[in-house]
Amino acid sequence: MEIRHISWQETIDIRHRVLWPDKPPEFCKAEGDNEALHLGAYVNEELICVASLFFDGEVVRLRKFAALPAYQGQGVGSSVLKAAFKEMKARDVSMFWCDAREAAMGIYRKFGMKPEGERFYKGDIPYFKMAINLAKLP
């Protein structure tokens, strides 16, 4: 598996297929995509996982993190998050957060992220804000 920087346009297909298959592909574009850093995981030149990092000074928000179903549960997402943490360390990021789908909270917990606040919904999907203060990590 290889993880590399990709364009926001390259993220749309996986975002659409995994996160919002019932919405049009245009729904999958995020505000600020043009300025964000996008990571893609490839196996045999097939894009299988995407993640987008939105920087605001020393704070980074992860958005639109998705792996193709055939590759979920195989460590692909963890590898992409490790690459994201490496990028953030190189940029002296102090805070990392995301709105995590409740069903996916386990992967974020593995990286030391903790839920903040109460469950909330986007449509009928339950979420929690999860965050980690990277400045406190060794």
CB-CB contact of 92 with 58 (8 Å):
yes
Residue 137 has pLDDT above 70, yes or no: no
pTM of the model: 0.92
DSSP 102-117: GGGHHHHHHTT-EEEE
CA distance 48 to 54: 20
pLDDT mean over 126-135 = 92
Mean model confidence pLDDT for the chain: 93
Q: Where are the domains of the chain?
A: 2-136
Residue 10 is inside which H or E element, if any?
Answer: helix 8-14
Residue 132 has pLDDT above 70, yes or no: yes
Any idea which fold 2-136 has?
Answer: Aminopeptidase (3.40.630)
pLDDT in tens, 31-58: 999 999 999 999 999 999 999 999 998 9
- Write the CB contacts of 16 (distance below 8 Å, at least 6 apart in sequence): 23, 25, 27, 28
